[in-house]
């Protein structure tokens, strides 16, 4: 990790100062930060060279009711500049072989040539309370059943400059040894010997929709592994079995989904070219107005109340009477470069729709704890 640390401290050394601002309105709390970089530094010139606009065009793909969502507007040449040296340092620290590293960097370069700047991603999580309760009621807990109790849903879109070239490059990555090698590096340790792979099916058809399907799998590299490793593999396999990746390509977009309903989600996403309850129609997003500029490189939101609802669905007793509140992005983060070459971030905390949750926790905190009866001395 030494190379990564060196790169980080090189950037920190180029920082001349920080400016913070705090604001409060009917919408909630806003915190701004501007990072001032040393004049003449390569990092300042880097930010000056990559000014973008039109970031809000992909808000229609961000789900305002998802657990988390983000969109980006990053020029491919900027991404290539960032990724090259950082990827090399990261993968070498993971023990990835030079042959696979070079294969990955070459594949990434080919993919970026066909990539567009904008994209969006949503992450959602659903729980089947009954399946979850049954899975944890046995001793030891059934890890495979626990994994089946959760439905991880991902939907996303990537803008592409050349649909056919992008499809070919991405398929080549899935067909190569790159992904298994990288995942093996993550799963490799003295206590955990899990091997990964990818099964790919191309040009499948369902109700007029043509798509690719990728399935990541995990298995024990050593069948005689200890019981703890077997349990870990059982959990990982259960999660991955429920995460097939579905992809659909057009000349200007690559749509992708995962999850138990991934294929249905993909069909809806392609047909509507948008997600329901998206950011463009969200009153919460509209309420922040110009604080989320159209020149952002990255914009993301997390729904804190959606997280609490998932905890409630998992059967945690303390949250059994949690009120049902419509999920929305109540914590938002934004990153953008300024024309002068500095960096700005905004952290926005929406409070206007969280009053039922605030009241819930206020009552919990105000409620006196039950006093245990003193021990009786015989």
Phi, then psi, of 328 in degrees rounded to 5 = -160, 165
Instruction: List beta partners, residue 122.
Output: 69, 155
Q: What separation in angstroms does the CA of 225 have from each of 194, 217, 228, 237?
A: 10, 18, 8, 15
- The segment with the largest mean pLDDT, out of 128-137, 311-320, 361-370, is 128-137
For residue 377, the model assigns a pLDDT of 39
* Cβ pair 161, 142 in contact under 8 A: no
- 214: Cβ contacts below 8 Å, ≥ 6 apart: 174, 198, 199, 200, 201, 244, 245, 247
For residue 230, the model assigns a pLDDT of 76
Alpha helices in 1-115 (DSSP H): 2-13, 42-49, 76-93, 98-113
3-state secondary structure at position 207: coil
Higher-pLDDT residue of 87, 349: 349
* Cβ pair 67, 310 in contact under 8 A: yes
* Cβ pair 41, 16 in contact under 8 A: no
- 104: Cβ contacts below 8 Å, ≥ 6 apart: 87, 91, 96, 178, 182
Over range 62-69, report the average pLDDT.
95
* Cβ pair 165, 172 in contact under 8 A: no
- The segment with the largest mean pLDDT, out of 37-41, 228-232, 277-281, is 277-281
* Cβ pair 46, 358 in contact under 8 A: no
pTM for the structure as a whole = 0.84
3-state secondary structure at position 375: coil
Instruction: Tell me: pLDDT of 216 over 80.
Output: yes
Q: What separation in angstroms does the CA of 128 have from each of 135, 140, 147, 315, 362?
A: 11, 20, 10, 10, 28
Cα separation of the two ends of the chain: 62
Alpha-carbon span 200 to 250, nearest angstrom: 19
For residue 264, the model assigns a pLDDT of 96
Ordered by start, the domain boundaries in the chain are 56-281
Higher-pLDDT residue of 195, 345: 345
Lowest mean pLDDT of 9-23, 196-210, 236-250, name the range: 9-23
Read off the pLDDT band of 82 (50, 70, 90).
low
Read off the pLDDT band of 208 (50, 70, 90).
very high
Instruction: Tell me: pLDDT of 355 over 80.
Output: no
* Cβ pair 95, 188 in contact under 8 A: yes
Alpha-carbon span 13 to 311, nearest angstrom: 42
Q: What separation in angstroms does the CA of 291 have from each of 23, 118, 228, 345?
A: 11, 20, 48, 10
Lowest mean pLDDT of 1-5, 209-213, 222-226, 268-272, name the range: 1-5
């Amino acid at each position: 990790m030494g190379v990564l640390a060196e790169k980080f401290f090189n950037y920190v050394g180029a920082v001349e100062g920080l400016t913070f601002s705090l604001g409060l309105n009917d919408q909630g709390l806003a915190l701004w930060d501007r990072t001032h970089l040393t004049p003449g530094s390569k990092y300042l010139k880097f930010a000056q060279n990559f000014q973008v606009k039109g970031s809000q065009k992909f808000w229609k793909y961000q789900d305002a009711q998802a657990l988390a969502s983000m969109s980006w507007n990053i020029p491919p040449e900027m991404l290539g500049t960032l990724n090259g040296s950082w990827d090399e340092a990261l993968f070498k620290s993971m023990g990835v072989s030079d042959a696979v590293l070079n294969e990955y960097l070459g594949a990434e370069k080919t993919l970026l040539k066909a990539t567009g700047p904008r994209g969006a991603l949503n992450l959602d999580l659903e729980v089947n309370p009954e399946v979850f309760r049954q899975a944890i009621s046995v001793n030891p807990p059934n890890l495979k059943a626990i994994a089946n109790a959760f439905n991880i849903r991902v939907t996303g879109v990537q803008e592409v400059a050349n649909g056919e070239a992008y499809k070919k490059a991405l398929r080549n990555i899935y067909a190569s040894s790159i992904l298994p090698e990288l995942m093996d590096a993550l799963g490799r340790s003295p206590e955990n010997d899990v091997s990964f792979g990818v099964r790919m099916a191309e040009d499948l058809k369902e109700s007029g929709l043509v798509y690719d399907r990728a399935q990541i799998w995990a298995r024990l590299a050593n069948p005689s592994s200890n019981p703890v490793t077997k349990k870990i593999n059982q959990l990982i396999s259960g999660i991955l079995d429920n995460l097939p990746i579905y992809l659909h390509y057009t000349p200007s977009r690559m749509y992708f989904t995962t999850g138990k309903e991934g294929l249905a989600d993909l069909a809806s996403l392609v047909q509507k070219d948008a997600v329901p309850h998206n950011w463009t129609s969200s009153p919460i997003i509209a309420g922040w107005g110009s604080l989320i500029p159209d020149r952002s490189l990255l914009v993301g939101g997390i729904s804190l109340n959606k997280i609490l609802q998932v905890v409630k669905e998992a059967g945690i007793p303390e949250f059994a009477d949690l009120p049902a509140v419509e999920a929305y992005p109540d914590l938002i983060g934004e990153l953008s470069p300024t024309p002068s070459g500095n960096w700005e971030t905004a952290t926005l905390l929406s409070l206007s729709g969280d009053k039922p949750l605030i009241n819930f926790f206020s009552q919990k905190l105000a409620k006196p704890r039950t006093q245990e009866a003193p021990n009786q001395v015989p």
